[in-house]
């Protein structure tokens, strides 16, 4: 257990691998019944970190459960480990290569990590996975890299790194996406998509460039590990106000896709929740089932109430892994314009206003339009019902106030 009052004693602890303390059951007392929950002596343990060890990967700690949503409370702990107030105020902590490292991560852990923490919850396959690791001290990173030896005895909880972020690459979701970038790409095997990216909130608070650091350093490893790849792609939805800041910081390029004038619709209802991932319908799935993407068709097939929104145009970002003459050839043979200029904040906001709107049909003729499509199920209660409930509550509140006004002060 970490000694917070005397942090200098932490590195002197001898066990190689600390084990989490189990909950101690309450000892029964004679004649006095004891509650089975919330007892004084029972210690409720937080979600635990696990130590991953295998022949293919160096040891590291990982935590599949949710991370704290607040700033890393280790400010005082980091100070006790040698960081000064000046360094902390300048946010040198984490932003320096002294404390962080990007390296390979087991695919199974990467997938579970995404499943537990990412807002999309899951990913079907993981082909290439890299992790963001953080060390307590710079010398521990040097030990991990093999530049200095580990001591004969050490506390693994202090020395081995924590996994605090993952980047997952794989085959592009769009079947023909590889064929719409540049004629220099001859096969789908030469393109991979950044499918998921997650960095723990408390690390983002302390390391504002955490996501771009993970992306840029994972790309360096991809160039080394997968030399046959020519290009990486990633998508961002403007309705989520994704301006591509992390891509700009990582030297990606912007490549517009699709035709904003071609309008496609998506539906969300009790029926779609069971038939489609994330609840909203997909245009490809609809066409395979012979369902056209218009309001009347969606209303007919998915019942009432049903939410309908316009499918947003997605921004595509590409990272070209080539250099020299091959890079020039790639640009010359572009199939869509490759730009160094990213969408402006004003344009992204305009797109958000357009694609955030949603209609909810409560019957064939009864429709209400909303300016948000986030969590559409909350809008399935008709506004008339809500107004009646509001009036009833206001009436009851008025009765309560009149009652309280009649009380004579003591």
Q: Give the percent of the chain with pLDDT over 90.
A: 42
pLDDT value for 59? 93
Separation of alpha carbons 380 and 273, rounded Å: 14
Cα–Cα distance, 344 to 238 (Å, whole number)? 11
First CA to last CA distance, the chain: 55
Calpha distance 18→50 (Å, rounded):
10
pLDDT exceeds cutoff 70 at 21: no
Report whether pLDDT(340) > 70.
yes
pLDDT band at 314 (very low <50, low <70, confident <90, very high): confident
- The 10s digit of each residue's pLDDT in 117-129 is 776 666 778 899 9
Alpha-carbon distance 191 to 319, whole Å?
Answer: 10
Superfamily grouping for domain 46-260+313-356: Gcn5-related N-acetyltransferase (GNAT) (3.40.630.30)
**Beta 358-361 vs 100-104: how paired, if at all?**
unpaired
**Cα gap 133→199, rounded to integer Å:** 10
pLDDT of the residue at 198: 86
The DSSP code for 240 is: G
Residue 261 reports pLDDT greater than 60: no
Which H/E stretch holds residue 390?
helix 383-405
Task: Render pLDDT for 281-305 as a digit per residue (tens, 0 to 9).
Answer: 887 778 888 888 889 999 999 999 9
pLDDT value at position 47? 53
The predicted structure's pLDDT at residue 13: 34
> Is pLDDT at 201 greater than 80 in this prediction?
no
- Which of helix, strand or coil describes residue 104? strand
Average of pLDDT values for 368-391? 93
- For the stretch 239-256, pLDDT in tens is 554 556 788 778 899 887
* pLDDT tens digits for range 48-82: 778 999 999 999 988 876 654 444 444 455 555 56
> How confident is the model at residue 206, as a pLDDT?
55
Position 224 pLDDT exceeds 80: yes
| DSSP label at residue 339 | B
Token pair recorded at residue 273:
């929740």
**Boundaries of every domain in the chain:** 46-260+313-356, 261-312+372-402
134: which strand partners? 100, 162
pLDDT at 218 over 90: yes
In sign, the C-alpha dihedral spanning 168, 171, 172, 173 is negative
Contact 342, 253 (CB under 8 A): no
Phi and psi angles of residue 141, each rounded to the nearest 5 degrees, phi first: -65, -40
Q: How many CB atoms lie within 10 A of CB 307?
A: 24
Which of 126-135, 340-349, 379-388, 398-407 shows the lowest mean pLDDT across its residues? 340-349
The pLDDT of 161-184, averaged and rounded, is: 89
Give yes or no for residue 25 having a pLDDT over 50: no
Give yes or no for residue 10 having a pLDDT over 80: no
Q: Is the pLDDT of residue 97 over 80?
A: no
The CA distance from 105 to 111, in Å, is: 10
Nearby residues of 198 by Cβ (< 8 Å), 6 or more positions away: 113, 114, 117, 118, 165, 166
Q: How far apart are CA 131 and CA 107, in angstroms?
A: 10
């Amino acid at each position: 257990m970490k000694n917070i009052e005397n942090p200098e004693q932490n590195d002197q602890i001898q066990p190689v691998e600390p084990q989490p303390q189990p909950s101690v059951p309450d000892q029964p007392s004679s004649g006095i019944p004891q509650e089975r929950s919330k007892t004084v002596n029972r210690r409720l343990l937080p979600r635990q970190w696990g130590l991953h060890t295998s022949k293919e990967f160096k040891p590291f700690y990982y935590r599949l459960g949710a991370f704290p949503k607040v700033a890393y409370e280790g400010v005082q702990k980091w100070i006790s480990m040698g960081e000064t107030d000046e360094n902390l105020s300048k946010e040198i902590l984490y932003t320096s290569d002294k404390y962080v490292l990007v390296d390979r991560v087991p695919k199974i852990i990467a997938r579970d990590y995404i499943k537990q923490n990412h807002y999309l919850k899951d990913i079907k396959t993981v082909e290439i996975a890299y992790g963001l690791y953080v060390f307590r001290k710079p010398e521990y990173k040097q030990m991990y890299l093999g530049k200095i030896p580990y001591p004969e005895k050490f506390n693994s909880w202090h020395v081995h790194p924590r996994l605090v972020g993952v980047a997952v690459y794989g085959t592009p979701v769009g079947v023909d996406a590889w064929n719409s970038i540049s004629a220099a790409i001859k096969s789908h095997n030469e393109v991979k998509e950044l499918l998921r990216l997650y960095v723990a909130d408390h690390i983002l608070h302390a390391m504002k460039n955490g996501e771009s650091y993970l992306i840029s350093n994972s790309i360096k490893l991809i160039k080394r590990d997968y030399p046959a790849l020519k290009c990486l792609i990633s998508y961002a939805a403007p309705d989520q106000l994704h301006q591509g800041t992390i891509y700009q910081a990582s030297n990606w390029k912007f490549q517009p896709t699709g035709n904003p004038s071609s309008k496609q619709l998506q539906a969300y209802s009790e029926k779609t929740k069971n038939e489609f991932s994330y609840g909203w319908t997909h245009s490809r799935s609809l066409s395979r089932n012979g369902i056209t993407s218009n309001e009347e068709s969606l209303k007919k097939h998915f019942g009432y109430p049903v939410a309908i929104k316009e499918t947003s145009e997605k921004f595509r970002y590409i990272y070209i892994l080539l250099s020299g003459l091959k890079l020039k050839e790639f640009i010359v043979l572009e199939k869509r314009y490759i730009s160094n200029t990213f969408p402006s904040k004003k344009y992204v906001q305009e797109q958000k206003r357009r694609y955030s709107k949603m209609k909810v049909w409560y019957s064939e003729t009864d429709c209400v339009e909303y300016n948000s499509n986030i969590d559409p199920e909350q809008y399935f209660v008709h506004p008339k019902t809500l107004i009646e409930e509001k009036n009833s509550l206001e009436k009851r509140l008025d009765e309560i106030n009149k009652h309280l006004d009649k009380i004579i002060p003591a």
